[in-house]
């Protein structure tokens, strides 16, 4: 199959393309750096010519309202219109677990709007909602640093390794459309601060970690189950300890 990966030069996209190529598919990375701009439409029809499947991993350059909403709705409308012209058989889009449960978050609201554009498009589709990637826990820890103490929002967390996300995205791209949503998560669920503390330990970072119910997660207070699946989810294979060991080895 010819599979076009929008955002194929990013963290998940580059890994998914490797998986798809090993499986014998023609996997093409499409991004502004390759001459494809889904917001302006530049290069989009040419990139999708002959495509069987489109994997949508594009991300907004801004998380601020209304820019993030404008990006995802314009990007998605242009993309599905081009897919209809190209007669694409399956649209796979990566979204976020809990994106409809934190209504005050502009980024999450924009992802819901993006999903709705896909669902109404007429293109056969599968939505994959993922929990936070393990690779972003360091950024979360830094955003919570206050005078040498790392503050973390309360609630449960179930991060997933980027390698697992890419593998599931690639598998989904090779499968029939679900016309629905699949949730994916890491194999372990624990309080948010536990993962941050373990991450800092992997990094030999001595800063203490404090679970703070008043601390905001990217501007929003969390409930206990805000960021984890509420029902059965597809679980990744890589546990947090294994990911931490692999990360440490890669840094040597």
Burial class (CB in 10 A: 0-12, 13-18, 19+), 182: middle
CATH code for the domain in which residue 90 is found: 3.40.50.720
Question: Region 102-131: what's the mean pLDDT?
Answer: 96
Asked if pLDDT for residue 44 goes beyond 90, the answer is yes
Name the average pLDDT for the chain.
96
pLDDT for the residue numbered 252: 66
Domain span holding position 109: 2-251
Q: Check pLDDT > 70 for residue 110.
A: yes
Residue 53: the pLDDT is: 98
With cut-offs at 50, 70 and 90, classify the pLDDT of residue 193: very high
How many angstroms separate the first and last alpha carbons of the chain? 38
Indicate if the alpha-carbon torsion angle 197, 202, 208, 214 is positive or negative.
negative
Structural domain count, the chain: 1
Lookup result for tokens 């599905």: 80
Residue 79 clears pLDDT 70, i.e. is over it: yes
Question: Is the pLDDT assigned to residue 197 strictly greater than 90?
Answer: yes
Partners of 30 in the beta sheet? 6
pLDDT of residue 249 exceeding 90, the answer is: no
Q: Residue 35 half-sphere exposure, CB side, CA atoms within 13 Å? A: 6
What tokens were used for 92? 């796979």
Q: How far apart are CA 144 and CA 63, in angstroms?
A: 18
Please give the pLDDT value at position 76: 98
């Amino acid at each position: 199959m010819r599979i076009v990966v929008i955002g194929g030069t990013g963290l998940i996209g580059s890994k998914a393309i490797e998986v798809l190529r090993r499986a014998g598919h023609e996997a093409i990375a499409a991004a502004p750096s390759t001459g494809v701009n889904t917001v302006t439409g530049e290069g989009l029809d040419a990139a999708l010519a002959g495509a069987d499947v489109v994997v949508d991993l594009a991300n907004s350059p801004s998380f601020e309202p209304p820019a993030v909403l404008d990006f995802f709705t314009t990007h998605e409308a242009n993309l599905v219109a081009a897919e209809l012209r190209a007669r694409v058989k399956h649209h796979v889009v990566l979204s976020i677990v809990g994106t409809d449960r934190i209504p005050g978050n502009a980024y999450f609201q924009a992802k819901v709007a993006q999903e709705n554009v896909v669902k109404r498009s007429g293109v056969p589709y599968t939505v994959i909602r993922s929990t936070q990637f393990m690779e972003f826990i360091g950024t979360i820890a830094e955003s919570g640093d206050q005078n040498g103490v790392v503050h973390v929002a309360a609630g449960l967390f179930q991060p997933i390794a980027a390698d697992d996300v890419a593998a599931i995205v690639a598998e989904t791209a090779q499968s029939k459309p679900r016309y629905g949503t699949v949730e994916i998560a890491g194999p372990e669920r624990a309080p948010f601060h536990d993962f941050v503390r373990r991450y800092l330990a992997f990094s030999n970072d001595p800063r203490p970690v404090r679970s703070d119910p008043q601390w905001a997660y990217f501007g929003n207070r969390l409930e206990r189950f805000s960021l984890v699946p509420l029902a059965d989810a597809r679980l990744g294979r890589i546990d947090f300890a294994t990911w931490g060991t692999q990360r440490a080895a890669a840094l040597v």
